[in-house]
């Protein structure tokens, strides 16, 4: 585990129905325990329903509707996977605009499994080394990314992983990358 802290950082977690439950709950817990404040942002009002490997999982309260969420109010973005969630998000212009705003502001982003579909749609995949669920390899390559088959990859403001089995390697890298959102002056103030 890393000794980095995320005190005073605000992290948006963008989801809609069908996100892979463990790909949201485990990283969220790790980021929260490191001191960040996470907010579940969704185009759905009220609650979102997770996918739990082979069937529907738990429901979770939406902390902030997407239509009132502003990237300026957050320091970093987490994009869980699952197949349904990113496939639905990438078809919503407001979700893509939200992701693109993080990229344009050079704020760190973490994504796992099929989550990079929204990164592709936001035209943010051109250039970095990324990983994902293997079926996204061609999509990422066609979008201009260098796709690699590794449990975790950190490059150009992104941390990506392939699948739930990679979560133990994903957490410390997410925390390290998100800690970089502070910049030198915010890091000194947090110490």
The residues with which 47 forms a beta bridge, in sequence order, are: 61
Catalytic residue selected from 34, 84, 113, 140: 113
Q: Which of 28, 90, 107, 114 is catalytic?
A: 114
Tokens 């990283």 correspond to 27
Ranges of beta strands (E only) in 35-190 are: 37-42, 47-52, 55-61, 64-65, 76-79, 109-112, 129-130, 146-147, 152-155, 158-161
d(CA 15, CA 9): 19
Active site residue 114: yes
- Known catalytic residue at 113: yes
Burial 16-49 (b: 16+ CB within 10 A, else e): bbbbbbbbbbbbbebbeebebebbbbbbeeeebb
Catalytic residues: 113-114
């Amino acid at each position: 585990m890393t000794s980095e802290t995320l005190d005073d950082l605000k992290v948006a977690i963008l989801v809609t129905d069908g996100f892979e439950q463990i790909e949201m709950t485990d990283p969220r817990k790790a980021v929260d325990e490191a001191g960040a404040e996470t907010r579940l942002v969704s185009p759905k009002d009220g609650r979102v329903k997770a996918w739990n490997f082979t069937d529907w999982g738990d429901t979770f309260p939406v902390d902030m509707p997407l239509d009132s969420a502003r990237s300026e109010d957050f320091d970093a973005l987490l994009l869980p996977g699952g197949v349904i969630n990113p496939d639905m998000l990438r078809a919503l212009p407001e979700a893509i605009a939200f992701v693109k705003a993080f990229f344009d502001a050079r704020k760190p982003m973490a994504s796992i499994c099929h989550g990079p579909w929204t990164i592709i749609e936001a035209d943010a995949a051109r250039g970095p080394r990324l990983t994902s669920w293997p079926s996204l390899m061609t999509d990422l390559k066609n979008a201009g990314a260098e796709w690699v088959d590794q449990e975790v990859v950190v490059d150009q403001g992104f941390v990506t992983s392939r699948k739930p089995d990679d979560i133990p390697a994903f957490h410390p890298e997410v925390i390290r990358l998100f800690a970089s959102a502070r910049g030198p002056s915010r890091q000194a103030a947090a110490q």
